[in-house]
Each structure stands twice: as C-alpha cells, then as structure tokens.
Amino acid sequence: MCTSFLFLPDTTTPLNRVFALAYHRLLLSAKPSHMTPSVGAIPELITSAANAEVKRLRSLHQRKYRRQTGWFLAEGTRICTEAVALGWELHRLAFLAGREDHRSIRPLIEALIDAGGRSLPVTEPLLQRISRKDNPQMVVGAFAQRHIELSDIHPNQSDIWVALDRVRDPGNLGTIMRTIDATGGRGLILIDDCTDPYSVEAVRSSMGAVFNVAIASCSQPEFLAFAAEWPGRIHGTALLASTDFRAVACDGPLIILMGNEQAGLPDSLIHACTQLIRMPMRGRSDSLNLAVATGVVLYEALRTRN
C-alpha cells in the first residue's frame, strides 16, 4: 500500500525545522513498502500549534469543549488499544511522527482508518502541548464519551454501584473509577454538580478504567427517586454513622453512597440509605480521603461476597 507524506509549510521555529528535517530523512531512508508493512495513507506531518486539529484536541482540556464535541482525550498505546478493543469510538489519534509502523501504534491507526477517524502525525513538542505533559506518551486519542441513564441500570444480585455526591477532585474520581473496575463493580452514579469523569486528570488517574466503568449522572431528586425503587442495599458512608463497616451485610444489589470531600453526605441522601457505615478513625485525622474510603468499602464488600 502506498504511503503518502506531505509537509505542512510551518517550519517557522528552530525546533520544528529540526524535527521536519529529521522526519524527512527518516522517510528518505525508509525501507520499500514491501519490506515495511505500512498503514495506508498517513496524513502530512503537523508541526504547527495553529493547526485546526491540534487546536481541537487541545480544547478538550476544557469541559465546555468536551460537552460541545462529546469527545475526550486518553493517552498511551495500552489504554487506547484496550479502549478500541472494548468498542469505544476513536475519532482522532495524535501520534509521534515516524512511529506509524510501531507494533502498538499501527493497529490503532488501522482501527481509526476503518472507523473513519483521522490520524495526526505530530512533533514531540506538539504532543507535549496536546497532553500538557513534559514527557508525553507516544499517542493521544480523542474518543466519544459514553453516558448512561439511571433507567438503563437493571441490577442483578451481584451488582455493585458507587454513587458520589458532588465529587470535586478529578484525581479522586479517577482513582475511584480504577477501584470500581478493580473490584468488579458495575459503575458510577454522579449526583448533582460533580467534576467531569472525562477530564484529562480524571481519565489519567483512572489508568484506563474509565473505559470499563458505566457512568450515569443525575440530580439529587432523580437519585432519590431511583433509590426508592432500588431492589437491594444502599450503604451510606458517614463519619457519625454508628455501624462499623465490617459488621454489615453486603449481599445482593448494592449501592455504596459516598459524600462530598468537604461537606460529606447531606441529610436528604442519608435518609435514602438502608444502612450507614463508618470506618473507625483511631488517630487524630477526622476522616479518610474520599477515594481511600471508597476503596476500603469496595474491598470489604468484595471480601464478604467471596
């Protein structure tokens, strides 16, 4: 298959000029296509931060543009490959130019082309700008977000869901997604104004778990209506709750309800719980970090179910 490369004229900065020259040399020294299997027509090398596709990817750091496009960024070949294998829709793939035949990048580009997406060979400085990291991964993908409705949740006996009230910290949210995935939980219910599960920070902290955890968002009244119909237990976590978390049953469909980092759970949500549980605090700290507390409760549920 023929591989066509075109250069954009932007070689205005010294770094871009050096990179464009190196890239050109690489192409000239490339083996014939019958010796080096290639991935079809790779578009031109992008060296300019003003390129519309680069701008579009960079805009996905802002919630406003993630909402507008319904896209989000995920980094790294392992995570992008797993996402594609799980059927997530990949729209764009920015990758380090010259690596299109790398064994873990080639299948991604092929999947992208099959799905009608665009591959974007970029310079390392541009990858840094897209990912806002000094040491960026070799690829950054733009995927379509997925959101489910509460009405899509039809729990069976083994299902565990985590509901988070107004979670604010993307690192906490990503870590919680990672732990839900690790413990075989079904997904996440985000109540009221939460941080975006598709922000770059949350996706990074989830280490790819965002692709394996169902996500629903709702208002508090919607959650209360849903909770009223829930066929199983709802364990609320609260510092003043009286039952030790190791003393409660966790069988059947289970929702673990966690409070906001500053304010904890409001009374309205506490009343929706079938049980309030606490982890004992022996030292001077008055509470656990939200993600740590969620992990403790999830692993206890897993232990008692096993």
| Sheet with 214-218: strands ordered across | 214-218, 187-191, 160-165, 254-258, 233-237, 275-278, 243-244
Query: What minimum distance in Å lies between the beta carbon of 295 and ligand SAM?
Result: 11
Here's the x/- map for ligand SAM, 219-258, by CB under 6 A: it reads as ------------------xxx------------------x
Position 154, amino acid: H
CB of 188 within 8 A of CB of 282?
no
Query: What minimum distance in Å lies between the beta carbon of 187 and ligand SAM?
Result: 18
CB of 60 within 8 A of CB of 71?
yes
Query: What minimum distance in Å lies between the beta carbon of 178 and ligand SAM?
Result: 17
Q: Which stretch binds ligand SAM (CB under 6 A): 21-29, 64-72, 136-144, 259-267?
A: 259-267
293 is a contact residue toward ligand SAM (CB under 6 A): yes
Which listed residue (20, 46, 202, 290) binds ligand SAM by CB under 6 A? 290
Shorter beta-carbon distance to ligand SAM: residue 96 or 258: 258
Which listed residue (112, 265, 272, 301) binds ligand SAM by CB under 6 A? 265
Which listed residue (278, 295, 298, 300) binds ligand SAM by CB under 6 A? 278
261 is a contact residue toward ligand SAM (CB under 6 A): yes
273: its two tokens = 């719980």
Q: What does the alpha-carbon distance between residue 212 and residue 233 come to, in Å, rounded to a whole number?
A: 23
Query: What minimum distance in Å lies between the beta carbon of 287 and ligand SAM?
Result: 4
Distances (CA, A) of 238 to 197, 266, 287: 23, 10, 9
DSSP 82-113: HHHHTT--EEEEEEETT-TTSTTTHHHHHHHH
Shorter beta-carbon distance to ligand SAM: residue 217 or 237: 237
Shorter beta-carbon distance to ligand SAM: residue 227 or 290: 290
Shorter beta-carbon distance to ligand SAM: residue 224 or 288: 288
What are the backbone angles phi and psi of residue 92, rounded to the nearest 5°? -140, 150
Q: What does the alpha-carbon distance between residue 245 and residue 152 come to, in Å, rounded to a whole number?
A: 29
Q: What does the alpha-carbon distance between residue 81 and residue 15 come to, in Å, rounded to a whole number?
A: 30
CB count within 10 Å of CB 192 equals 18
Q: How many residues bind ligand SAM (CB under 6 A)?
A: 15
108 is a contact residue toward ligand SAM (CB under 6 A): no
Which listed residue (97, 259, 273, 298) binds ligand SAM by CB under 6 A? 259
Shorter beta-carbon distance to ligand SAM: residue 213 or 290: 290
User: How wide is the angle at C-alpha 213 spanned by C-alphas 110 and 62, nearest 5°?
Assistant: 75
Shorter beta-carbon distance to ligand SAM: residue 54 or 279: 279
Shorter beta-carbon distance to ligand SAM: residue 101 or 261: 261
CB of 245 within 8 A of CB of 294?
no
Query: What minimum distance in Å lies between the beta carbon of 94 and ligand SAM?
Result: 36
CB of 187 within 8 A of CB of 180?
yes
Contact residues: ligand SAM, CB under 6 A: 237-239, 258-259, 261, 264-265, 278-279, 281, 287-288, 290, 293
